[in-house]
Protein backbone atom coordinates (compact mmCIF):
# COMPACT_ATOMS: atom_id res chain seq x y z
CA UNK A 1 0.00 0.00 0.00
CA UNK A 2 1.58 3.27 -1.11
CA UNK A 3 -1.22 5.81 -0.83
CA UNK A 4 -4.41 6.62 0.97
CA UNK A 5 -6.28 6.14 -2.30
CA UNK A 6 -5.07 2.53 -2.41
CA UNK A 7 -6.10 2.08 1.22
CA UNK A 8 -9.57 3.47 0.47
CA UNK A 9 -9.89 1.04 -2.47
CA UNK A 10 -8.83 -1.79 -0.16
CA UNK A 11 -11.52 -0.80 2.37
CA UNK A 12 -14.11 -0.58 -0.44
CA UNK A 13 -13.17 -4.12 -1.55
CA UNK A 14 -13.43 -5.42 2.01
CA UNK A 15 -16.87 -3.81 2.34
CA UNK A 16 -18.13 -5.28 -0.94
CA UNK A 17 -16.79 -8.75 0.01
CA UNK A 18 -18.04 -8.64 3.60
CA UNK A 19 -21.37 -6.87 3.24
CA UNK A 20 -22.24 -7.41 -0.41
CA UNK A 21 -22.45 -4.83 -3.13
CA UNK A 22 -25.39 -2.50 -2.70
CA UNK A 23 -25.96 0.64 -4.72
CA UNK A 24 -27.22 2.56 -1.70
CA UNK A 25 -24.19 2.05 0.53
CA UNK A 26 -22.44 5.30 1.50
CA UNK A 27 -19.00 6.20 0.21
CA UNK A 28 -15.91 5.36 2.24
CA UNK A 29 -14.58 8.51 3.88
CA UNK A 30 -11.14 8.60 5.48
CA UNK A 31 -10.75 11.28 8.08
CA UNK A 32 -8.17 12.15 10.71
CA UNK A 33 -8.80 10.52 14.05
CA UNK A 34 -10.10 12.79 16.82
CA UNK A 35 -7.42 14.23 19.08
CA UNK A 36 -8.41 12.01 22.00
CA UNK A 37 -7.93 8.83 19.88
CA UNK A 38 -4.38 7.69 19.20
CA UNK A 39 -4.82 6.56 15.60
CA UNK A 40 -3.75 7.65 12.13
CA UNK A 41 -7.20 7.46 10.55
CA UNK A 42 -10.83 7.11 11.49
CA UNK A 43 -13.52 5.58 9.29
CA UNK A 44 -17.10 6.62 10.13
CA UNK A 45 -18.49 4.31 7.40
CA UNK A 46 -20.27 1.92 9.77
CA UNK A 47 -22.24 4.79 11.31
CA UNK A 48 -23.44 6.06 7.94
CA UNK A 49 -24.15 2.53 6.61
CA UNK A 50 -26.11 1.33 9.65
CA UNK A 51 -29.50 2.40 8.34
CA UNK A 52 -28.96 0.86 4.88
CA UNK A 53 -27.53 -2.40 6.28
CA UNK A 54 -30.09 -2.52 9.10
CA UNK A 55 -27.34 -3.58 11.49
CA UNK A 56 -25.91 -2.20 14.68
CA UNK A 57 -23.07 0.19 13.71
CA UNK A 58 -20.87 -1.10 16.53
CA UNK A 59 -21.12 -4.68 15.18
CA UNK A 60 -20.55 -3.51 11.59
CA UNK A 61 -17.51 -1.48 12.66
CA UNK A 62 -16.11 -4.44 14.63
CA UNK A 63 -16.44 -6.77 11.61
CA UNK A 64 -14.85 -4.18 9.33
CA UNK A 65 -12.01 -3.55 11.80
CA UNK A 66 -11.18 -7.27 11.95
CA UNK A 67 -10.78 -7.39 8.16
CA UNK A 68 -8.82 -4.13 7.95
CA UNK A 69 -6.43 -5.35 10.68
CA UNK A 70 -5.43 -8.25 8.39
CA UNK A 71 -4.41 -5.87 5.58
CA UNK A 72 -0.77 -5.38 4.66
CA UNK A 73 0.61 -2.15 6.09
CA UNK A 74 -1.90 -1.90 8.93
CA UNK A 75 -0.40 -2.22 12.37
CA UNK A 76 -3.68 -2.09 14.27
CA UNK A 77 -7.37 -1.54 13.55
CA UNK A 78 -10.15 -1.48 16.14
CA UNK A 79 -13.74 -0.40 16.46
CA UNK A 80 -15.02 2.14 18.95
CA UNK A 81 -18.68 3.23 19.15
CA UNK A 82 -19.32 2.52 15.47
CA UNK A 83 -16.08 4.02 14.17
CA UNK A 84 -13.04 2.13 12.87
CA UNK A 85 -9.67 3.52 13.97
CA UNK A 86 -6.52 2.55 12.09
CA UNK A 87 -2.82 2.77 12.88
CA UNK A 88 -0.46 2.20 9.94
CA UNK A 89 2.96 0.61 10.14
CA UNK A 90 5.84 3.09 10.19
CA UNK A 91 7.05 2.01 6.75
CA UNK A 92 3.64 2.81 5.22
CA UNK A 93 3.63 6.27 6.78
CA UNK A 94 7.11 6.88 5.38
CA UNK A 95 5.85 5.85 1.94
CA UNK A 96 2.91 8.28 2.26
CA UNK A 97 5.40 11.08 3.01
CA UNK A 98 7.65 10.01 0.13
CA UNK A 99 4.66 10.19 -2.24
CA UNK A 100 3.87 13.66 -0.93
CA UNK A 101 7.45 14.78 -1.41
CA UNK A 102 7.74 13.60 -5.02
CA UNK A 103 4.18 14.35 -6.15
CA UNK A 104 3.54 17.69 -4.45
CA UNK A 105 1.65 19.15 -7.38
CA UNK A 106 -0.88 16.31 -7.69
CA UNK A 107 -0.89 14.75 -4.22
CA UNK A 108 -4.21 15.03 -2.45
CA UNK A 109 -6.17 16.06 -5.52
CA UNK A 110 -9.16 14.02 -6.49
CA UNK A 111 -9.37 13.52 -10.24
CA UNK A 112 -12.78 12.74 -11.64
CA UNK A 113 -12.71 9.47 -13.67
CA UNK A 114 -14.52 11.13 -16.57
CA UNK A 115 -14.47 14.92 -16.17
CA UNK A 116 -16.61 16.92 -18.60
CA UNK A 117 -14.66 17.57 -21.79
CA UNK A 118 -16.45 20.76 -22.78
CA UNK A 119 -15.19 24.11 -21.55
CA UNK A 120 -17.08 25.51 -18.58
CA UNK A 121 -17.47 29.26 -18.31
CA UNK A 122 -17.84 30.25 -14.70
CA UNK A 123 -18.64 33.92 -14.35
CA UNK A 124 -18.26 35.58 -11.01
CA UNK A 125 -18.06 39.10 -9.71
CA UNK A 126 -14.74 40.86 -9.68
CA UNK A 127 -13.73 44.15 -8.18
CA UNK A 128 -14.94 47.15 -10.19
CA UNK A 129 -11.79 49.07 -11.23
CA UNK A 130 -13.70 52.37 -11.52
CA UNK A 131 -15.61 52.16 -8.24
CA UNK A 132 -14.83 51.67 -4.59
CA UNK A 133 -13.77 48.26 -3.32
CA UNK A 134 -16.12 46.85 -0.68
CA UNK A 135 -16.58 43.59 1.24
CA UNK A 136 -19.21 42.08 -1.09
CA UNK A 137 -17.03 42.39 -4.21
CA UNK A 138 -14.07 40.88 -2.38
CA UNK A 139 -16.19 38.02 -1.04
CA UNK A 140 -17.67 37.25 -4.48
CA UNK A 141 -14.27 37.37 -6.15
CA UNK A 142 -12.65 35.04 -3.60
CA UNK A 143 -15.57 32.59 -3.75
CA UNK A 144 -15.53 32.56 -7.56
CA UNK A 145 -11.76 32.10 -7.69
CA UNK A 146 -11.99 29.25 -5.17
CA UNK A 147 -14.66 27.50 -7.28
CA UNK A 148 -12.48 27.82 -10.39
CA UNK A 149 -9.49 26.31 -8.55
CA UNK A 150 -11.57 23.43 -7.15
CA UNK A 151 -13.09 22.64 -10.56
CA UNK A 152 -9.63 22.74 -12.21
CA UNK A 153 -8.26 20.42 -9.51
CA UNK A 154 -11.06 17.98 -10.39
CA UNK A 155 -9.82 17.96 -13.99
CA UNK A 156 -12.40 20.28 -15.55
CA UNK A 157 -11.39 22.78 -18.21
CA UNK A 158 -12.15 26.29 -16.97
CA UNK A 159 -10.70 28.99 -19.26
CA UNK A 160 -9.26 32.17 -17.80
CA UNK A 161 -11.52 35.13 -18.42
CA UNK A 162 -9.83 37.84 -20.48
CA UNK A 163 -12.30 40.42 -19.15
CA UNK A 164 -10.60 40.56 -15.76
CA UNK A 165 -7.17 40.90 -17.40
CA UNK A 166 -8.47 43.67 -19.67
CA UNK A 167 -9.92 45.57 -16.69
CA UNK A 168 -6.60 45.30 -14.89
CA UNK A 169 -4.80 46.70 -17.95
CA UNK A 170 -7.26 49.59 -18.24
CA UNK A 171 -6.89 50.41 -14.56
CA UNK A 172 -3.10 50.21 -14.77
CA UNK A 173 -3.00 52.35 -17.93
CA UNK A 174 -5.33 54.93 -16.38
CA UNK A 175 -3.04 55.36 -13.39
CA UNK A 176 0.09 55.76 -15.54
CA UNK A 177 -1.61 57.69 -18.41
CA UNK A 178 -0.57 55.10 -21.03
CA UNK A 179 -2.59 53.67 -23.89
CA UNK A 180 -4.03 50.16 -23.59
CA UNK A 181 -2.95 47.73 -26.28
Quote the CA–CA distance of 33 and 84 in Å, as a whole number.
9
40 has a pLDDT exceeding 90:
yes
Per-residue pLDDT averaged across 132-157, rounded? 80
Q: Identify the pLDDT of residue 110.
A: 65
174 has a pLDDT exceeding 50:
no
Q: Identify the pLDDT of residue 134.
A: 74
Going from the C-alpha of 56 to that of each of 31, 34, 53, 106, 141, the distances in angstroms are 21, 22, 9, 38, 46
Q: What is the pTM of this model?
A: 0.61
Q: Identify the pLDDT of residue 126.
A: 64
- Mean pLDDT, the chain, integer: 79
Per-residue pLDDT averaged across 80-107, rounded? 85
Domains of the chain: 4-102 (3.30.1360.70), 109-181 (no CATH)
Amino acid sequence: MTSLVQFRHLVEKIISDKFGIEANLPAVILQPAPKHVEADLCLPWAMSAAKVLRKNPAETAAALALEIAKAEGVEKAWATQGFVNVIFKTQVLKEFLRQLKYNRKDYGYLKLPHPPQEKILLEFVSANPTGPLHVASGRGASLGDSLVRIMRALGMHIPLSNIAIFFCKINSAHRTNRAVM
